[in-house]
Amino acid sequence: MTGAAEPGGAAAGVALDAWPHLFQPGREGAPVLLTLHGTGGDERDIAQIAPHLLDGAGILSPRGRVSEHGMNRWFRRIAEGVFDVDDVIVRAGELAAFIALAREHYGIQDARLIAVGFSNGANIALATALLHPEAIDRVIAFSGMYPFGDRDPIGDVSGVRLLLANGAADPMAPAESAAHLARVAAEHGAEVERHIRAGGHGIDGSDIAAARTWVADVVATV
């Protein structure tokens, strides 16, 4: 994998060369997996899951730029499970801008992009897809939840497909929040598939298997 890009353009306060990230090209014509880490992780963490989801995929893996007591995050939170929704919206816009710059810089404008996020990374992937479907329209969300609190800023997302993989007893991404996410996204037109397993926060073998099957279907769908 390579490190940060050479100096490039900027949009929405984003400069590609100032945003730590990794990029690994895939085989010709393969999708690119946008891998988004959880709280305290970095650009190397969840990128390691990519080969288990799709052989030959490219990898684009940025680092969250919010620091919480020295831990990398994607957006601010007020307390555990209580998000700063205004910041979620701003950071989703920044991630959308990063994606546009990275596509141009790495020559992957025509590649299918599939976001793969865990926990806080799942939440920013979901927020970005639901607010900026032109940037991300395919998301695998491991241990994600509804990212907008008691608000609904979502427009028409009829082209978006989501896979929500959650533990039924997850105290950090509660089942009721995941169910609310699925319901609201579907009401706005998204195609939502759910994988619910026993247990709590994390990614297990059944999650990977469900995600791999889902990705294969996405790749096969023109």
Q: Give the model confidence (pLDDT) of 145-183 as tens digits.
A: 999 999 999 999 999 999 999 999 999 999 999 999 999
Q: Is the pLDDT of residue 10 over 60?
A: no
> What is the C-alpha separation between 28 and 86, in angstroms, rounded?
39
Full-model pTM = 0.93
pLDDT tens for 27-77 read: 999 999 999 999 999 999 999 999 999 999 999 999 999 999 999 999 999
Mean pLDDT across the chain: 93
The candidate with the shortest Cα–Cα distance to 203, out of 69, 19, 53, is: 53
Structural fold of domain 10-220: Rossmann fold (3.40.50)
Q: Where are the domains of the chain?
A: 10-220
Per-residue confidence (pLDDT) for residue 19, from 0 to 100: 95
Q: What is the DSSP letter of 170?
A: -
Say what the pLDDT of residue 64 is. 96
Query: Alpha helix (H) ranges present in the chain?
Result: 50-53, 85-106, 120-131, 175-187, 205-220
